[in-house]
Each structure stands twice: as C-alpha cells, then as structure tokens.
Amino acid sequence: MSFKAVLKSIAFLALLFVVLYVGMNNTGSIKFSFPVGSKEKIEAPAAIIFFGMFVVGVLAGTLLHSGGGGGKKSGGSKDK
C-alpha cells in the first residue's frame, strides 16, 4: 500500500469524524430549501440533512474522479 493511499484514507476518516461530530451536536430540526427544483422546504434533523449533503458530495466526487469509464478499454492486444 502506498503512502498516498494511506494519506487519502486518513483524510477521508477525518471527514467522516467531522460528519459524526456535527451530527452529535446538531440534533434540532431545521427547514432546508434547495433553490433548484421543488420549492417545498424539507424539515428534518440537521444531522440527517448534513449527512445527506456529505453523501451527495462524496458520490459526485467519486463519479468525477473515476471519469465514467470513457477512455480506456480493456481487451486483447491488436497483435496477431
């Protein structure tokens, strides 16, 4: 395992700790509105909304980082 992978794992665990810490300290209910799409306000515990936004960010970052599988193709060699 490379040092870069260990460093990324530690950074990701630190982010997860922040999510846990914020969730433990924000148990009150809040109204959340997103300006695009539905104009309804979502009322939920702050920790749930924060965690949901964190998940959306992680998934978006993962999709952007992976590139959608559009460049390299696996297969046999072209030598015959």
pLDDT band at 65 (very low <50, low <70, confident <90, very high): confident
The reported pLDDT for the residue numbered 70 is 55
Residue with the bigger pLDDT between 21 and 69: it is 21
Most trustworthy range by pLDDT among 6-10, 32-36, 66-70 = 6-10
Q: What is the pLDDT of residues 9-29, one digit of tens each?
A: 888 888 888 877 877 787 788
DSSP-derived secondary structure for 24-45: HH--SEEEE--SSS--PPEEEE
Helices and strands (H and E) in the chain: how many: 2, 2
Task: Report yes or no on whether pTM surpasses 0.85.
Answer: no
